Amino acid sequence: MAAVASAHPDDVLSIREQVSEEEWETRVNLAACYRLVDHYDMSDLLGTHISARVPGEENTFLLNPYGMYFDEITASSLIKVDYDGNVLTETPFDLNLAGFTIHSAVLMGRPDVDCALHTHTRAGMAVSALKCGLLPMSQHSARFIDRTGYHDYEGVANDHEERERLQRDLGDNLALILRNHGLLTCGYNIGHAFWLIYKLERACQAQVDGMAAGTKVIEIDASVQESSKELFEKRRTAGGDLGWPGHLRRLDRMDPSYKE
C-alpha cells in the first residue's frame, strides 16, 4: 500500500504541555466539533474539513490530519498551519491541500470569524445543485436568506488562486453554498459555526423534502424575513453559545477521547 497510508493515530503524541492554554482550549473545541459533525451524520469519509484560528496568533489556524476520520480526531492531532501553508505541528499525517485552500481563503479574508466548517452532505449537495439555491421556506433557512454567498464549482480546490474568488463570493456572509459541491459556514467561534451548519443542513433537508412533495411551497413573507434577520443579528452567537456546553456533555458521555 502507498506511503500515504502509513500514518497511525497512535503515533500522535499529546502536545498539551507545548501549547498555550488558549490554543489548547481551541484545539479541544475544534476536535469536539469534528466529533459532532460525525455524530450528526454530516461527515464524508476523509473529505471536508473544519478550521479554527489559533488565539493570539496572526496568521495561523488548525486543520484536521488527512487520514483520520472525524470520529477519531483529538485535540493533539490537529495540525497548525500558517497562511503560506507551512505546517507548524509535528505530525505523521499530511495536510489536505483542498482544505488548506478553502480554509485559508475564509480566515484570511474575514478577520471577524474564527472558525470555518465545510460539509458534503446528501441534502447540502442536492440544494447546492439547484438553480433556485436555498429557499426561504423554513425558520431554519430564514436566517440565511440574503446572507448566503454562492460559489461556482471549479474542480478540486487545489488552486490557490481560487482563494480570491472564494473570498469574493463569501463576501460578508456567514454561509457559502459551494455549487455542485457542498456547504460552508463560518462563525465568530467554533460553537457558532457548528450551530450555523446544523441549521443550514436542516434547512436543506427540509427544502429537499418540501419540494419533493410536489405541492406548492409557501415562501416566508419578505417583511417577516427582514424581522427574523434583525433578531438573528442581535442574538449573534447566542444559539451556539447556549448549545455548546451540552454538546460537550454529550461527547463526554459517548467518548471523551476528543480531549486528548
Partner 1 sequence: MSLKDKVSPEEWQTRVDLAAAYRLCEQYDMTDLTGTHLSARVPGEPDNFLLNPYGMYFEEVTATSLIKLTLDGDIIEDPLELGVNAAGYTIHSAVLAGRADINCVMHTHTRAGIAVSSMECGLLPMTQHSMHFFNAISYHDYEGVAVNLDEREMLQRDLGPVNMALMLKNHGLLTAGLSVSDAFYKLMRLEKSCQAQVDAMSTGGELHLVPEAVSAHTNNQFKNRGTELGDRGWPGHLRRLDKVDPSYAH
One of 212, 216, 223, 234 touching partner 1 (CB under 8 A): 212
Mask 178-197, x = binds partner 1 (CB under 8 A)?
-xxxx---------------
Nearer to partner 1 by Cβ, of 1 and 58: the residue is: 1
Nearest approach in angstroms of CB 72 to partner 1 is 7
Nearest CA to 253 out of 32, 10, 15 is that of 32
What does the block give as the cell for 51?
Answer: 478550521
| Strand-strand pairing, 175-178 and 148-151 | parallel
Q: Does 103 bind partner 1 (CB under 8 A)?
A: no
Quick one: which segment of 4-12, 167-175, 189-197, 239-247 binds partner 1 (CB under 8 A)?
A: 4-12
In 191-207, which positions are buried (b, 16+ CB within 10 angstroms) versus exposed (e)? bbbbbbbbbbbbbbbbb
Counting residues that bind partner 1 (by CB under 8 A) gives: 40
Name the residue with cell 496568533: 57
Name the residue with cell 473544519: 50
Nearest approach in angstroms of CB 155 to partner 1 is 4
Nearer to partner 1 by Cβ, of 36 and 190: the residue is: 36
**Which residues lie closer than 8 Å to 104 by C-beta, 6 or more apart?**
61, 81, 83, 85, 163
Q: Does 67 bind partner 1 (CB under 8 A)?
A: yes
Q: Using CA of residue 233, residue 234, residue 240, residue 241, what is the dihedral sign? A: positive
Nearer to partner 1 by Cβ, of 82 and 94: the residue is: 94
One of 4, 224, 231, 254 touching partner 1 (CB under 8 A): 4
Quick one: which segment of 111-119, 161-169, 187-195, 206-214 binds partner 1 (CB under 8 A)?
A: 206-214
Mask 41-60, x = binds partner 1 (CB under 8 A)?
---xxx--------------
- Residue 220, CA distances (Å) to 126, 135, 139, 198 in order: 21, 9, 8, 20
Q: Which of residues 107-166 bind partner 1 (CB under 8 A)?
A: 120, 122-123, 125-132, 153-156, 158
Nearest approach in angstroms of CB 58 to partner 1 is 31
Q: Which of residues 69-88 bind partner 1 (CB under 8 A)?
A: 69, 71-72
Contact 163, 101 (CB under 8 A): yes
**Contacting residues toward partner 1, per CB under 8 A:** 1-2, 4-5, 8-9, 44-46, 66-69, 71-72, 120, 122-123, 125-132, 153-156, 158, 179-182, 207-208, 211-212, 214
